[in-house]
Amino acid sequence: MVHERTSLAVVGFLGVLLLAAVAHAQPASASAEVRLVDAELLNQEGVPVYFNSDVLANKIIVMDFVFTSCTTVCPVLSSLFARVQESLGERLEKEVRLVSVSLDATRDTPARLKAYAARYKARQGWTWLTGDKQDVSRVLGGLGAYTPDYNNHAPMVLVGDMRTGKWVRLNGFPSHEEILAKVDELAAARRNSRAVEPPPSTGSASQPEEKSRRYFTDAPLLTQEGKTVRFYSDVLKDRVVVISFFFTRCQTACPLLTQKLQQVRRELGERFGKEVHFLSISVDPAFDTPQELKKFAHRHQAETEGWTFLTGSKEDVGQVLGKLGQTVGEIEDHTTLFIAGNVRSRHWVRLRSDSPAVAIAERLRDLAGRP
């Protein structure tokens, strides 16, 4: 029996070496094209979370792919991440988030992930994910990490910045120094981006307002009427807004989202259009011209003051979507969450679109201020 266990351990170790050799036959580090799917998953606490909106959010991300019964690649990756966690110190969760996605969603329950995470002393800022097998597979596929035989998955670490949309794939077992170097590179790019922004105006605008304008940008967009508007100054400033994402050719989620917003509008009564405004941003600007937006609004009886549909150039719309944490590869993968905020108070929340309209309206009244 001892001989058998020893043999298995040797085979496992050799397997790790073989996988590492295969991985390092590829470029050790390469820019990665990813398709981010905002699927609903479960974290290690069993809490439902949306992959893009809640987990990736606006952070610099370091991500690996493991499963709890793995005895070869995964313990090595998890030990590596534990060392990265230690090196990050206070930057963890504040600026950087570690994410470990299960390759075995069928068996890896949140409880199993939590127990596995405890072995590596995972702290807040290191999120472990599982969920419905189909949803997890969609997420893995978009990241280039899906494999039908997870027992033979190759080691890989993804490092990316949700703010800029830049991702790098580190094949094999990178050192924790390599990972931290990529994180520092992305963080420096953020700082440099802020450094080249124009200084705050010396006019009447307050510093918080200038900060909001620089963050959200004044990218020029087009309304359903074909009017050019600046995203922050003309659309967001001083408003309470509900932002949704759609495309006019969508036959599934988008009509339902629009229908739910209609219900919320009715619940808000006279406050809609005066205190609360709806913004629906197209994730398909190449097709969705202002004319298409207007037809969509007419079709769904959304031609009302206070509800603005937005499109524009692919670059400008992409910039706005990125600021809202909604970078997507395929238009069908856009989030179904509503983003609601009081722009003046800088208070923002995410609202589930499957919540009752009366509950959503209640949250909006809170954002706008009672009564």
Q: Which parts are annotated binding residues?
A: 250, 254
CB of 98 closer than 8 Å to CB of 91: no
Is the Cβ–Cβ distance between 224 and 293 less than 8 Å?
Answer: yes
Q: Which residue type does 173 have?
A: F
Q: Residue 11 corresponds to which tokens in the numbers above?
A: 């085979």
- Residues at the binding site for Cu cation are 250, 254
Q: How far apart are CA 246 and CA 227, in angstroms?
A: 19
What are residue 129's phi and psi, to 5 degrees?
-130, 140
d(CA 186, CA 137): 27
Q: Give whole-number Cα distances, 350 to 89, 194, 329, in Å.
A: 28, 26, 21
Question: Helix-strand-coil percent breakdown of the chain, rounded to 5?
Answer: 45, 20, 35
DSSP per position, 285-321:
TTT--HHHHHHHHHHTT---TTEEEEE--HHHHHHHH
Alpha helices in the chain (DSSP H): 2-25, 73-88, 110-119, 133-142, 176-195, 207-216, 253-268, 290-299, 314-323, 357-368
Contact in structure between 341 and 254 (CB atoms under 8 Å): no
Close Cβ partners of 162 (under 8 Å, ≥ 6 residues apart): 52, 56, 57, 58, 59, 60, 61, 322, 325, 327
First to last CA, the chain: 73
User: DSSP readout, 173-197?
Assistant: ---HHHHHHHHHHHHHHHHHHHHTS
C-alpha 94/C-alpha 188 separation (Å) is 15
